[in-house]
Structure 1
Amino acid sequence: MITHLLAVDGGGTKTALRLTPLAPLTTDPFFSLTSGPSSLTQQGSAAIATIKDAIEYCLEQCHLKAKNVSIVIGVAGAGNPKLKQQLQNALADYPYCIVTTDAHISLLGANNGKAVNTIAIGTGAVAMTLTAESDTELFGGWGFPIGDEAGGAWLGQQAIRVLINSIETLETSPLTGYLIEHFGRDRKTLLQWLKMAKAADFAQLAPIVIEYAEQGCRNSQAILDEAHRHIDNLITKCCKNNELDIAFLGSLGAYYQAHLKTHWQQRVIDAKGNALDGATLLAKQQVELINE
């Protein structure tokens, strides 16, 4: 008998898990946990281990068996069928487990499962539409470094490019001053960092880019000017064929929402929930289907 709903949100920066009773007496989670990154694209087998370990730890701490839990995992990279299947295979011991993308559960959470457009910008950047018929459309979200323009990892990557140009030309700015202090000017050291750096490492530089842009740094402003163009293009693709509301999500969502072009502003709503809310909703729907 299923007694609990387990929601997992896995991305390039962190993994969030939340367990709630199927019939909760309060709105508080029964158990929650945050661990390291689990993007299937970026972390691969390590991501699978992170997710599996988090679920096992949760059930162990709460004295639950796999058969008692409806699980929904929304994870970056699950749009790749091969990677998705690898995660599903690793979780074969859990009879009621759905694997989908982190964008999908964010979409469901944003408007309590009702039709909406979402622009989710954190480590990566992706837009999705949920129609009144419960169909979904996906735009962007191709993954770093080939896609996810304007996401945190992309912002950090552009900052490193500015650093490289500064090392070679000796041109400076507040942003390059910070980066030189952080990374130095040594080519070998920077190349070694680049060899090991993941999306989450680049994304850690995103707040620095924004901070210096607000202080007038021309390099940072140029990066963000390009980022805003990418976001406007993403919104245009997602929203041009519908009149649905737009909800911004993710750690950088509020920043981009504040700098949105005027003609989009009138369609913006505050998100009613987050990715874990969306995963919990889908987990509850799974129970309802099982009980039919």
Structure 2
Amino acid sequence: MTAMINRIVGMTVIMAVDGGGSRCRVAAFDTGGEVLARATVDEHASLSLGVQDTWVHIQAGLSALRRTLGFAPTWIPDRLVMGLAGSLQEGRRAEFLSLIPARFSPVLVTDGLAQLMGATGGKPGICLAIGTGSVLHWLDAEGNTGMAGGWGFPVGDEGSGAWLGMQLIRHYLWHRDGKVKQGSLINAVEQRIGSSVSAIQQWSTQSQSSVLAQLAPMIFEHASQGDELALSLLEEAAAVALELVALAPAGLPVCIVGGIGEQLKSELTRSLGTRVQRAEGDALHGLWQLYAHHPQLCG
């Protein structure tokens, strides 16, 4: 530990933050892109879910990095580069940045742009990110960027974990009304959320995307067992994801990331074929790429 501290003293350290609807991932990089430390906080870092909470959770991540690096509780990075869900809404963005002391030299971009840069290594390509939410970003050969989807839950984020959870609740309600037949997935969701009107309405009126996304794993579980409803929901999720890909410039390679994206990858690859490529790095590496090589995109 002493050797690490001695090596880092006097070095410029960049702290990267990848924030989404379910967790906050942080890393400390040197200027050459070497990872000095990593940590994960199992709380959201999405401005859509709470501006002040997001800063609290990022500070928890910073504290974890300090402990790993053996630094004093007062240490701060030379640059704080963040890719956070919900950061395109100007009011939330301004409120959030006002919470951060200027000495952090904060840079804020969307989580999707960070994922794009990490997945493609800063080269032309598409990043289809499907986790609690969903969004597609691309970078073309001329350096132009674009996005599709990512409008947020509940009106957007099609194919995501939250969307799958909402669809499952909807089908359970239809089952209660007699429109959907019984099956193993319906039985499982009834056991999970309850059968009383009061219990059901706690879920049918749920506005937290991260809560609804907790239902997604049971869909994959029952799909693997051949449940018709589970299979149809995953087929629909893949279809809406492919619609996003079709909105990007044709022919670009596609990286599929995120917890739900990884589980849908085999289905998506059947349609996209050799365009699907393995991601070079994660969103944290993407934030370092933005800092080091694409400062013009950090506006």
TM-score (norm 1): 0.88
For residue 22 of structure 1, report the CA deviation from its aligned partner. 3.0
| Range that drifts further, 32-41 or 147-156 | 32-41
Q: Give, in whole Å, the separation in 2 of the partners of 1:272 and 1:103.
A: 15
Which residue among 213, 237, 241 is the counterpart of 2:223?
213
Which residue among 233, 244, 255 is the counterpart of 1:223?
233
| 8 Å CA contact retained: 1:75, 1:100 | yes
For residue 276 of structure 1, report the CA deviation from its aligned partner. 0.8
Residue by residue over 1:155-188, the C-alpha shift from the partner in whole angstroms, topping out at 9 and shown as x without a partner, is: 0111111221222328411111001111121011
Number of the residue aligned with 1:280? 288
Which residue among 36, 58, 77 is the counterpart of 2:86?
77
Q: Cα 1:35–1:280, aligned 2, differ >3 Å: closer, same or farther?
A: farther
Which residue among 39, 44, 48 is the counterpart of 1:37?
44
Q: Cα 1:262–1:213, aligned 2, differ >3 Å: closer, same or farther?
A: closer
> Structure 2, unaligned stretches of length 5 or more?
1-9
TM-score (norm 2): 0.86
Which residue among 115, 123, 139 is the counterpart of 1:114?
123
| 8 Å CA contact retained: 2:138, 2:146 | yes
Which residue among 252, 264, 269 is the counterpart of 1:244?
252
Residue by residue over 1:12-58, the C-alpha shift from the partner in whole angstroms, topping out at 9 and shown as x without a partner, is: 0111011123357xx55334232301211123432233224433664
Q: Cα 1:272–1:286, aligned 2, differ >3 Å: closer, same or farther?
A: closer
Aligned length: 283
Q: Cα 1:277–1:202, aligned 2, differ >3 Å: closer, same or farther?
A: same
For residue 10 of structure 1, report the CA deviation from its aligned partner. 0.4
Which residue among 235, 242, 245 is the counterpart of 1:235?
245
Higher relative contact order (CA 8 A, sep 6+): 1
SS in structure 2 at match of 1:237: coil
Q: Give, in whole Å, the separation in 1 of the partners of 2:65 and 2:45.
A: 17
> Structure 1, unaligned stretches of length 5 or more?
288-292
Percent of paired sites with the same residue: 27
SS in structure 1 at match of 2:103: coil
| 8 Å CA contact retained: 2:11, 2:30 | no
Match status 1:123 vs 2:132? yes
